[in-house]
Amino acid sequence: MGERCEAALVALRQIFRVTETQTRSLAKEFGLTPTQLLFMQVLSAAPRATASFVAKEMSVSHGTVTALTDRLICNGLMTRTKGEEDRRQAILQLTPEGEALLKAVPGSLQERFEDRFEALELWEQAFILAALERTASMLDASDIEASPILATGPLSGDR
C-alpha cells in the first residue's frame, strides 16, 4: 500500500471514529442520537413546524420524522398537536424539557463541520466536495441514499 493511500485511509478512519465517538457520547450523556439532536434543533428554530417541513429541512423521509417524533414524545421532549386552521396537519413543538435539554447539549460535530465548511473559500468547498464525492464513488457508495446528517447507524432514532 502506498504512503498516500495509507494516509487517505487513516483520514477516513479518523472521520469514522470521531463520528462514532460523538454518537456514543451524545447517547450516554443526553440520551439522544445525532439525528434526534438535529431534529430538535430544527424544531427549536421553527417552533410550530409540521412533519413535512421538518422532513424537507432535514432531507429525510416522512417515516423517519414519524419515528423521531414518536421517540421524542415518549421521552417527554416534544409534543404533536392538531393544527388550528387545518386539523389534518400535525404541529410539532419541543416541550420545556426538550428546550432545556437542547440548551444543555454542547455544539455538535455536524454544527462544527457546517460552520468550518461555510467559512472556507468557495474553491476550497468545491475541492472538498469533489474529493468526497470521488471517495464515495471509489467505495461504490454513490448510489446509496443518504441524508446530510453526520451520524452513524439508522436515522430513525429508534433504539
List strand residue ranges (DSSP E) for 83-145, in order: 90-94
| pLDDT at site 110 | 83
pTM for this entry? 0.77
pLDDT score of 94: 94
Residue 68: which CATH number?
A: 1.10.10.10
Neighbours of 82 (CB within 10 A): 10
* Residue 113 within any structural domain of the chain: yes
Which residues touch 61 (CB under 8 Å, ≥6 apart)?
55
Asked if the structure places residue 150 within a domain, the reply is: no
In a domain, 71, yes or no: yes
100: phi then psi, degrees, rounded to nearest 5: -65, -45
Kindly state whether residue 145 falls inside one of the protein's structural domains: no
In which domain, by residue range, is 72 found? 3-138
**Per the domain annotation, does 158 fall within a domain?**
no
Task: pLDDT tens for the chain, 159 residues: list them.
Answer: 899 999 999 999 999 999 999 889 989 999 998 889 989 999 999 878 898 899 898 888 888 899 999 999 999 999 998 867 776 788 999 999 999 999 998 887 888 999 999 999 999 999 999 999 999 999 998 888 777 777 766 555 444
The count of structural domains within the chain is 1
Residue 110: count of CB within 10 angstroms of its CB: 19
Q: In this structure, is residue 156 part of a structural domain? A: no
| 117 occurs within a structural domain | yes
Q: Is residue 126 part of a domain?
A: yes
